[in-house]
Amino acid sequence: MLIRYGYDITITCEAPTPLVCLLGVHPERGADVRSPEQMVTNPQVATTTYQDGFGNLCRRLVAPPGDLSLWGDGTVEDDGQPDPVDLLAPEIPVADLPDDCFVWLLGSRYCETDRLSQIAWDRFGQVSPGWNRVQAICDFVNRHIRFDYMQARDTRTAFEGYQERVGVCRDYAHLAIALCRCMNIPARYVNGYLGDIGVPILDPMDFSAWIEVYLGGRWHTFDPRNNVPRVGRIVVARGRDAVDVPLINSFGPHVLKSFRVWTYDVSDMPPAFAE
């Protein structure tokens, strides 16, 4: 399967403003790239790239005063299979976890494990450990939060999402991550592309957030927002929570003027439509 993905974003800055953008496909998918993405800016500005401490591809630039458009488009090959399910994947005791897993057990800016710990143990302490417990957490979050774009708030934390019971995909992810960490299960935040491949089109196209959980010695994908295996995920960035993976991190004020995202299967499209 070939998946075309991309974005067209315009922001406005009052003065020259340094930016760090996390918009490109994660380097782990490098071997799958069939049409490399090239970020194009209007007006044209110089950019450089680096990888952050989580292995994400970051692009640096300085936005000039006025409007700046960021456009990128590429194609990756995908196996076309839904997210793998391993019902027998066990939890790993904390004492046996790899050293690099411990950062994914700690509370973070949007995932307040201290405020949710008792809630988590009261609700999930008697659930059989492993895949079943993580799925029970995702089932709970999926039922507990009502999806509403109009109620989006970029400062909402996991505990506030638990209390308010409304939000968008990042709120589902934050709450599920915090509850997993409270149960001593490493969990991390993922931002990326997720098209409507094989499912009805319900929402406007956007970047999506889901989670990865460490069970049985490797990371597994869970999606508390959709809560079913999906086809065609393209990871952009991973972090402790949304604070680590902003699409655009500006070191000065900016205003979002327009935002468009696309991701769809072009495997069976004639070349004129796929380009």
Span 193-236, pLDDT tens digits: 998 888 876 666 789 999 999 999 999 999 999 999 999 999 99
What domains does the chain contain, in order, with CATH numbers? Answer: 2-80+247-266 (2.60.40.2250), 94-229 (3.10.620.30)
- What tens digit of pLDDT does each residue of 63-91 get? 999 999 999 999 999 999 999 999 999 99
Q: Are 4 and 263 in contact (CB under 8 A)?
A: yes
Mean pLDDT in residue range 172-199: 95
For the chain, give the percent of residues with pLDDT over 70.
96
pLDDT range class, residue 273, cuts 50, 70, 90:
very low
> Distance (Å, rounded) from C-alpha 42 to C-alpha 55?
28
**Using 50, 70 and 90 to split pLDDT, how confident is the model at 269?**
low
Place 100 in a pLDDT band, splitting at 50, 70 and 90. Answer: very high
Cβ density class 138-152: b for 16+ within 10 Å, e for less: bebbbeebebeeeee
What pTM was estimated for this model as a whole? Answer: 0.94
